[in-house]
Amino acid sequence: MKKFYALFLALGLTFTLAACGSTEDVSTGASKEKESTSTKTQSKNKKDDGSKKINASKHKTTAQGMKVNLGEIKIMKDRINVGMNIENTTDKVLNFYPDQGKAVAGSMQLDANMFMTDGDIGGEVEGGVKQDGVIQFLAPEGKEINIKNIKELKLKFGNVTTDDYMNSKDVTFTVKVK
């Protein structure tokens, strides 16, 4: 019984800590309403926490019939939040797991944390389905992102693969940080 209680407590603490990394001020680019709300919050957050927000909505690609569009990117000392939206324009299932990707900021590599992803983004995406979310890339433990020194971000979201696993195409973006 004590083991069950300890496990329950550990899981509760994990989910509580995961909720601390808010993603609600990062637009996925999926709706204009979210973008305008996010833009109002942008200048406030920049002053408060030293973070930097980038509108990356010009970054788009199509891989195997999957449209992948970036929204906003927020760089903080301990993480990078990337808003994005996808659409499977085919009538078949496409496999895409952007919440298992990587980000490279300067000489630091950050891994996506699929448990802290906000929204429903990726997996086995049925034909015609649209999804959006915010993916969190966490700095390695004990390290801090030097926000002022970041000139570009390389975002590697992995492959979009057809349902028969015969065809795949990599989805990578390089975003300039000003």
The residue extents of the domains of the chain are 22-176
Instruction: Say what percent of the chain tops pLDDT 90.
Output: 71
This prediction has a pTM of 0.79
Stretch 149-158: mean pLDDT: 97
pLDDT digits (tens, 9 = 90+) for 10-59: 444 444 444 445 667 888 887 654 444 444 444 444 455 789 999 999 99
Helix then strand then coil, % of the chain, to nearest 5: 25, 40, 35
Under a CB-based contact definition with an 8 Å cutoff, are residues 134 and 88 in contact?
no
Residue 70 backbone phi and psi in degrees, to 5: -85, 155
Domain 22-176, CATH? 2.60.40
Q: Which of 37-46, 56-65, 158-167 has the lowest mean pLDDT?
A: 37-46
